[in-house]
Each structure stands twice: as structure tokens, then as C-alpha cells.
Amino acid sequence: MNNFSNDEFDYHFLDEGFTVKDILNQKKNEVSSSDDKDAFYVVDLGDVLKKHLRWLKTLPQVTPFYAVKCNNSLTIVKTLAAVGAGFDCASKTEIQMMQSLGVPFGRIIYGNPWKQVSQIKYAANNGVQMMTVDSEVKLMKVASAHPKTKLILQIATDDSKAVFHLSAKFGTTLKTSRLLLEWVRELNIDVISVSFHVRSGCTEPESFVPAISDACYIFDMGTEVGFNIYLLDLGGGFPGSEDVKLKSEEIISVINTAFDTYFPSDSGVRTIAEPGRYNIASAFTLAVDIIVLQEQSGSDDEDESGEQTFMYYVNDKMYGSFTCILYNHAQVKPLLQKRPKSDEKYYSSSIWGQMCDGLDGIVECCDLPEMLMGHRMLFENIGAYTVAAASTFNGFQRPIINYVMSRPMWQGMQQIKSCDFPPEVEDQDISTLPVLRRVG
């Protein structure tokens, strides 16, 4: 890493030929004493950009509104804002963050259906119009606090295939939608969009088909009730780890086919989505150190069959970077910074966090070579629902984040910045979004 850094964005530029791995190795050598090491992240902002560009290329008809809750680190949000992403905000604080970065109102959705009246009023007074509702009670709140809103009606999806079932908490059903639309009509409020969220950790690309078909049904219902609904919001749930790239390709193909069936190119419908993990999961690598290790033998007469097991305690925790396990049922897997020898013996091992809480098990069982105090483990694909949700429980601070970017990526970003984010995109300018069309 060279000394040149960019203050506006808080990046360090990678020297030519340098990779994130090199930075991790460099940092390993920086601290010689094993006493004062702290866990830290290295984040490849180039990866965030690459993902964004890949999205624009493979789903050019779907404008991404990044779900800020997934990772609200300022540098991440700034980077995405600089290349023209929209944002799905869950609270007043997130909306304020977008305002401070100069994101046009038309690129902000106030998405979380569980809104506080004071925060709805804040959005209303600050030009944010697109808001999600999914029930009569929430509709009444929005109607009184923000009568000029442009509603997004969130429908429940069949999330039986998702890792985490949330449809019980969010979304109106097809049956109640009609009633809700009629209510909205009576209240003289506008509905412009139907949204769904196939739920975090969706492993079945096919889940998008019934969701798109249901949305189409609500579009027609809207027309019957007298609305012109013209925006389809696909929500989030797009996988973010590099190793599920194939799944993403499958999702894109499923979505394109469903568009052909339910929203043909002459329908004039515009489409957005709210990807979260997709944008940032793979950019983050976490480095932790072993602070305590405990050896156990499975039987008293320990023999060569490998009954010996190891418990490693590291300097991060379940309520820290590993909240993704609780929140998201994420499965994390350690990598060793030191490449093991080919004949290295592996032992059944478990990895624990540093909290005074029995819940703090990070990896229940994995095979690892014998490690020593001070040895480092890496966790890749750890950008989603980690730093954003991490607490300082027990007084342990969150790991420092080191942002890096290669110069070619930085230059690429400057080019996008100057052409893709025209300042004249203001207010409720949905018309700047591309009209839905099939590509490729």
C-alpha cells in the first residue's frame, strides 16, 4: 500500500500489481508483538464497483437502489452514490446520510414499512416521496403524515424456500391488496409501485417467478381501482458471495423470462430492485487473531486416529462482525493466512468469540491444522449484515476498516461519475430510469 490516499473517500490506492491478499500479508508483518493485535477488515472498493457495473450490464433494465441497512459504512455508500446508485433507506438517519451526500430525492426510497410518524414527517418535509406500505394501519400513518407520498405497495411472497422467513412480518397478501388499494383511493393518495422481497438468503431463483406474477396481478388490480402503477420493485435477496455467481446468473435468466411473460416490453413498466448483500458481501475480508487456544483430547488414551480437538478463541464476536450468523444464518468459514504444508495434519476444531456469553460460537466444527496463539484467520465474503449490525458489547470495539482500490478502478469510477449521475436528476424523477426492456 503506498502513502497516497484519497481523503474524500478514505481509500488507499493499491500499487500496481498489489492485491487485497498482499495488504493482508503486509499488515500481518506490521505488528510484531502478538499482544496488541486487533481484528481488522480490508475492503476492496474495486469489488463494490465491479459488482455495480456487472449489475448494470446484466440487468440494465433494473435500476439498483442499494439497501443501506446491509452495510451503512460511509465509504461504501459514498462509492455507490458516486456511480449513480439509488438507495433504499430504513430510517431518518439513513435518509439524512443520503442527503449529506447529495443523492437526489428521486433516488431514495423510504422502504422499511415499520415507520415512526415523526420520521415519515421528516421524509415528507425533505422531499422523499417513495414509501413502502403493506397494511392498513401503516397506510393510515403515512396518509396523515405524508399525503403527497408516492406509495410502493409491498406484497408478501412465498418464502418457503428462503433461509429466513419474513413474509409473516412483512407484505400484504393478494386478498388484502384490493382492500388496501381501495382505501388508498379514498384517501386520495397515489400508488406508483408494487414491491416484494424474496427474502434474504433466497437460494431458489425460481422464487422470483410467483413474486413477479403476483406483482403483475396487483398492477392490473391497481388499474381497476383507478391507479396508474408503473414501477416494479424486485426487492433484494440477490446473492453476494463470489462463490454463488452461478446462482446470480440463474436468477437473471429467471427474471428475464418472467418479465417476458408478465411485463412484456411494450408494457411501459419501469423496474428497480433493492440489492444489499449483492453489492458488498464479497468486498470485505475480516482478519482475526487467535487469542486463546484450548486443546482437548476426545479419549484418555489419545492415539494417532486424531481424537484430539482444538478450541480457538479469536478477537471478534457473535455480536460483532459475526452477527451475520444470527441475523442472516450466514455460514462463515475460516481461511488460514499461512498456507498449510501438503502433509499437514488436520484436527477437528471449533472457533469461538471473545464475549462473556456461551452463545458466542462462530464455527461449531471445521478441520484445521494445529494453530498457535497469535496466528491469524481470515473470513471472506463478510460485508453483509456484519459491521452494520455489530455492537461493542463487553466494550470490545468494532474492527478498523481499511479501504483499498486499484488505480484503474479509481479512474473508471471518475469516468462513471462524470457521465452517469447528472446533477439534473432531481426530485421525483423516475422518468430518468430506463423503461423495462428485454436485453441480449
Ligand X SMILES: *Cc1c(COP(=O)(O)O)cnc(C)c1O
Catalytic site residues? 356
Q: In terms of DSSP bridges, do strands 270-273 and 62-67 run parallel, antiparallel, or are they unpaired? A: parallel
CA atoms of 98 and 429, how far apart (whole Å): 16
User: Whose Cβ is closer to ligand X: residue 28's or residue 141's?
Assistant: 141
Pick left, alpha or beta for residue 357 (phi over 0 → left; psi -120 to 50 → alpha; otherwise beta): beta
Q: Strands of 68-180 (E only): list them.
A: 86-89, 108-110, 130-133, 150-154
String marking each residue 278-297 x if it binds ligand X according to CB under 6 A: x-------------------
The CB-of-51 to ligand X minimum distance in angstroms stands at: 12
For ligand X, the closer CB: 238 or 319: 238
In the chain, how long is the greatest CA-to-CA distance? 79
Binding letters toward ligand X, positions 304-333, x by CB under 6 A: ------------------------------
CB 288 within 8 A of CB 314: yes
Q: Is 134 or 380 the residue whose CB approaches ligand X more closely?
A: 134
115 binds ligand X (CB under 6 A): no
Query: Is the separation of the CB atoms in 386 and 322 below 8 Å?
Result: yes
Which of the residues 150 through 169 are near ligand X (CB under 6 A)? none
Question: Which segment (203-211, 271-279, 299-307, 370-378) binds ligand X by CB under 6 A?
Answer: 271-279
Interactions with ligand X, residue window 51-70 (CB under 6 A): 67, 69-70
Buried b (16+ CB within 10 A) or exposed e, 122-142: bbbeebbbbbbbbeeebbebb
At closest approach, how far in Å is the CB of 276 from ligand X? 3
CB nearer to ligand X: pick between 163 and 311: 163
Residue 200 as a binder of ligand X (CB under 6 A): the answer is: yes
The nearest distance, CB 389 to ligand X, in angstroms, is: 11
Min dist CB 316 to ligand X, Å, is: 21
The stretch near ligand X (CB under 6 A) out of 5-13, 171-179, 268-276, 290-298 is: 268-276
Spatial distance between the Cα atoms of 401 and 387, rounded to a whole number of angstroms: 9
Cα 306 to Cα 138, 161, 297, 303, 364: the distances in Å are: 58, 38, 9, 7, 18
Q: Is 276 in the site for ligand X (CB under 6 A)?
A: yes
- Among 46, 86, 205, 275, the residue binding ligand X under the rule CB under 6 A is 275
Residues numbered 222 to 251 that lie near ligand X (CB under 6 A) are 235-238
Nearest by Cα to 215 from 242, 188, 233: 233
Q: How far is the CB of 240 from ligand X (least distance, A)?
A: 7
- Taking CB under 6 A as the rule, which mask of x and - marks residues 85-104 in contact with ligand X? ---x----------------
Q: Which residue from 111, 171, 205, 383 is in contact with ligand X, where contact means CB under 6 A?
A: 111
Q: CA torsion angle for 115, 118, 119, 124 (degrees, to 10)?
A: 110
Considering CB under 6 A, how many residues would be counted as binding ligand X?
A: 17
Q: How many angstroms separate the Cα of 391 from the Cα of each of 167, 246, 395, 399? A: 27, 33, 9, 11
Q: How far is the CB of 203 from ligand X (least distance, A)?
A: 12
Binding residue (CB under 6 A) for ligand X from 134, 159, 274, 289: 274
Contacts with 398 (C-beta within 8 Å, 6 or more apart), sequence order? 320, 321, 387, 390, 392
Which of 176, 164, 105 has its CA nearest to residue 139? 176
Selected binder of ligand X within 78, 138, 277, 376 (CB under 6 A): 277
Checking DSSP bridges between strand 334-336 and strand 376-379, what pairing results, if any? antiparallel
Q: φ and ψ at 354, to 5 degrees? A: -100, 5
| H/E element, 345 | none
Instruction: Show contacts with ligand X in window 339-398 (CB under 6 A).
Output: 384
At its nearest, how many Å lie between ligand X and the CB of residue 230? 20
Q: Which residues bind ligand X (CB under 6 A)?
A: 67, 69-70, 88, 111, 197, 200, 235-238, 274-278, 384
